Amino acid sequence: MAKIGYARVSSKEQNLDRQLEALQDVSKVFSDKASGQSTERPQLQAMLTYLREGDIVVVTELDRLGRNNKQLTELMNQIQQKGATLEVLNLPSMTGIEDDNLRRLINNLMIELYKYQAESERKRIRERQAQGIAIAKQRGRFKGRKKKYSFEDEGLQHAFDLYQQGLTEKEIERKTGINRTTFRRYRQKGSVAKFKNQIQGL
């Protein structure tokens, strides 16, 4: 049995020090600098492959593992299918309970409650944002979110070049760090703009 740590931050600019400090007692740590929207993170997949029966996956907070209820449930199922368990450091410790089955049951129930609470909070945040945007639009103050990339951005142009070379969106995300959903959206916008220019030129 080994304790296997997993740490994640959302971007390359953020640092993992706080999580790594909390995970210093584990045998091995896997870490990603990637969005939690997708489970296709290199080190997350490596960690799931590495797991053996009896291992314990340790994360500082549940949202380091995944962002939503469905994603977390799928990942927890994969961990359990390996015969491993999940420990979340910011949840109360179960170390005082000697019976393994009871400890595992209570731990899983607590995680389910935490998932429900986190999902509910995200929904409330989205609702408040939508209400705020609606009010701002009514008052003529809403300008929308600033675009992350311009079509002249070197990283985005590099991604387009890789796509033309036949690389998949997953491979492009790995090489450039541009989320595949974001890349797809810009690619579709580029195709529409190109079509409009062709029509105007006729």
Catalytic position from the list 10, 27, 93, 191? 10
Neighbours of 99 (CB within 10 A): 9
d(CA 59, CA 73): 15
Helix (H, G, I), strand (E, B) or coil at 188: helix
From the list 87, 27, 79, the residue with the least C-alpha distance to 51 is: 79
Q: Is 27 a catalytic residue?
A: no
From the list 7, 5, 109, the residue with the least C-alpha distance to 55 is: 5
d(CA 157, CA 163): 10
Please say whether the beta carbons of 62 and 72 come within 8 A: yes
d(CA 76, CA 117): 17
Q: What angle (nearest 5°) sits at the alpha carbon of residue 21, between those of residues 20 and 27? A: 65
Q: Strand order in 56-59's β-sheet?
A: 28-33, 3-9, 56-59, 85-88
Neighbours of 152 (CB within 10 A): 7
Catalytic residues: 10
